[in-house]
A = this chain, B = another copy of it.
């Protein structure tokens, strides 16, 4: 299929398959170059050295040219895919005027390795021509001291704008918004708007699909799409053709609410206002996409306690340490579960089958609890768990736990009966599984709710806490019932 396709493709068009091939080639060439350079620098034959260096320099010029033809996002991808030495070499090949845009697209971890070798003036020079909200994003990603140093090296006007963006708390619409936008008075004629746009032709902001309509005190009045501007008569006023009730945001709204509104109402851009309803910025759909992408990418990592986005090539020691808090927590919960078992060592010696069977009660309970957990976390994310729904969810999860506890407890009991020919042991394990399913249902609903209520991210850590509970309680219930009924 791919072969047939390729024949028809006009090579000048950036179909993503070709971009991928091209990117892969460049990554490969850069990696090899770095290795060769390493070899040359170690070689002692000076003549060979000079020739090799000439060849290398020519190759580098070619690579620089290919990189220059890439979209900044593709250059960022190439840099992220390279090992540290090759990455530094490649970074030198990126044209200075592209570097700012590349830094915007790159992950925080790789950003920090790139700027590690740059002086504050160099960084400032690279990011100076970006929009002030983008500069603010970058400065916020730098180590605090360095960010401050860079900031003081910008123009005074830029500094003020960047500082005002930085003053909004992380996760608020204010911190995410774009401060460059086109606004017009609602009583302007469409032909005047057209003239304004043509005059500003060369410095219009990106993604300019909507123009914000304001009154004389800059209060939000409506939104004028380019389509409305195109399709109506030039003699009409903005107010006559604009959308009067656009979705808008306050600077202190949460980014996640803005993201949800974009998804729901299919927005391309939306105005941001201050408490006096004066327009201070806008949010565009491309920023929303980036936001969703970042959240989705980090979700899997947050679940296992890795909140920082880890550079694939970060030093081993640092990566190992990143995992310590989680390991420490896990050691602690495992220790508690182990102490629960320790309390029952007497009965285990009498009936060793208990040791063999107990992990099943714990493990199956943990897994069923994680299913409830996933449903509740999704319900919370979708904002669908009001008090009435919660009661219903609780009842439902308990009913499911009861049904499944009976069905699978029965199955486990039957298995035990076949293996050990001990009817009482079979009854005990069946009852223990049912009870642990109830623990799992309660934990699966309550843990994420509690984390959410206390303003914590329910994705992070809820699974460890749940598993700790179903493990400890599973062992306790099973060994406890065994102590009561089997000895």
CA–CA, A487 and B260, complex, Å: 62
* One of A53-61, A154-162, A323-331 at the interface: A323-331
Q: A319-B396, A399-B316 are contacts. A331–B411 as well, Cβ < 8 Å? A: yes
Cβ B371 vs Cβ A264 within 8 A: no
A248-289 vs B, CB cutoff 8 Å, 1 = contact: the mask equals 111011000110111111101000000111000000011011
CB-CB nearest in chain B for A382 = B297
CA–CA, A260 and B71, complex, Å: 14
Main secondary structure of the interface of A (DSSP, over half): helix
Complex interface: chain B residues within 8 A of A305 (CB): 371
Q: Would you give the shortest CB distance from A192 to chain B, in whole angstroms?
A: 13
Cβ A379 vs Cβ B312 within 8 A: yes
Check A230 for interface membership: any CB of B closer than 8 A: yes
Complex interface: chain B residues within 8 A of A345 (CB): 352-353, 355-356
CB-CB nearest in chain B for A373 = B304
* One of A2-10, A36-44, A92-100 at the interface: A2-10
Cβ A5 vs Cβ B209 within 8 A: no
Complex interface: chain B residues within 8 A of A288 (CB): 289
CB-CB nearest in chain B for A397 = B319
CA–CA, A197 and B313, complex, Å: 52
Cβ B403 vs Cβ A368 within 8 A: no
Cβ A392 vs Cβ B313 within 8 A: yes
Tell me the A residues contacting B by CB distance below 8 Å.
Answer: 1, 4-5, 8-10, 12-17, 20, 24, 27, 31, 71, 73-74, 77, 80-81, 83, 105, 194, 197-198, 201, 204, 206-209, 220, 226-227, 229-231, 244-250, 252-253, 257-258, 260-266, 268, 275-277, 285-286, 288-290, 292-293, 295-297, 299-301, 303-306, 310, 312-313, 316-317, 319-320, 323-324, 326-327, 330-331, 333-335, 337-339, 341-342, 345, 348-349, 352-353, 355-357, 359-360, 362-364, 367-368, 370-371, 373-375, 377-379, 381-384, 386, 388-389, 392-393, 396, 399-400, 403-404, 407-408, 411-412, 415, 419, 459, 464, 467, 471, 475
Excluding A296-B299, A303-B374, 10 further A-B contacts by CB distance (< 8 Å) are A5-B275, A263-B289, A288-B289, A300-B459, A304-B367, A320-B399, A323-B404, A331-B411, A334-B360, A355-B355
